[in-house]
């Protein structure tokens, strides 16, 4: 028997798409503007590694959110340990956390790193009069893919073995942010 999507699920999916569009737009415009200003290969590669690293970092958080155990954080929250309430909220919303961290941020970083890689390829071809743009492009694409996939594989291993520690560190940052701004992440009560 097939289950139909509820109106709430459809709206949630559309909201994720909408938020992703604007995050990708801001990140892409920012990185493109920076690439135009910075005409230095070292800085361009540093920006490429930064974007790839960001994707790996958020993938690690999303994986940790699905692997962490809730009971230790419930106990800490009962004792009013700083950050424990945020960890509980993260874990109660693990599917949303994983969706945003692994899929939304991961896909944006993948797209932006590809765009930066293409910019680097065109700059290399222009600067050094390289004739075979197809080969340079293929090497850059392979390099970005290998770095991203290899980094995420290592990150997943770390996330699975240290899920609770990672989530608690993220929760501490969120607690600090919530205290600073007064805005609560995942404030919906279940």
Tens of pLDDT, residue by residue over 6-56, are: 888 788 788 878 887 887 787 777 766 666 655 677 888 998 999 999 999
Query: Is pLDDT at 109 greater than 80 in this prediction?
Result: yes
Distances (CA, A) of 174 to 108, 141, 147, 178: 22, 35, 28, 6
Task: Determine the 3-state secondary structure of 2 from DSSP.
Answer: coil
- Domain positions in the chain are 8-181
Q: Which two tokens stand for residue 56?
A: 């790996």
pLDDT tens for each residue of 112-133 = 898 888 888 878 887 777 777 8
Task: Report if pTM > 0.95.
Answer: no
pLDDT tens for each residue of 153-184 = 999 999 999 999 999 999 999 999 999 999 88
């Amino acid at each position: 028997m097939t289950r139909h999507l509820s109106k709430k699920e459809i709206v949630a999916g559309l909201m994720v798409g909408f938020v992703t569009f604007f995050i990708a737009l801001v990140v892409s415009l920012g990185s493109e503007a920076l690439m135009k200003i910075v005409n230095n290969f070292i800085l361009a590669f540093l920006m490429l590694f930064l974007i790839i690293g960001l994707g790996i970092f958020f993938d690690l958080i999303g994986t940790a959110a699905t692997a962490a155990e809730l009971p230790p954080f419930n106990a800490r929250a009962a004792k009013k340990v700083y950050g424990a309430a945020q960890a509980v909220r993260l874990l109660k919303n693990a599917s949303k956390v994983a969706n945003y961290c692994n899929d939304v941020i991961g896909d944006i970083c993948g797209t932006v790193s590809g765009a930066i890689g293409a910019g680097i390829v065109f700059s290399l071809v222009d600067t050094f009069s390289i004739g075979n743009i197809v080969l340079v492009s293929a090497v850059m694409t392979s390099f970005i893919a290998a770095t991203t996939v290899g980094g995420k594989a290592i990150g997943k291993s770390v996330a699975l073995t240290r899920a609770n520690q990672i989530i608690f560190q993220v929760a501490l940052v969120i607690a600090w942010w919530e205290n600073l701004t007064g805005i609560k992440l995942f404030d919906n009560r279940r």
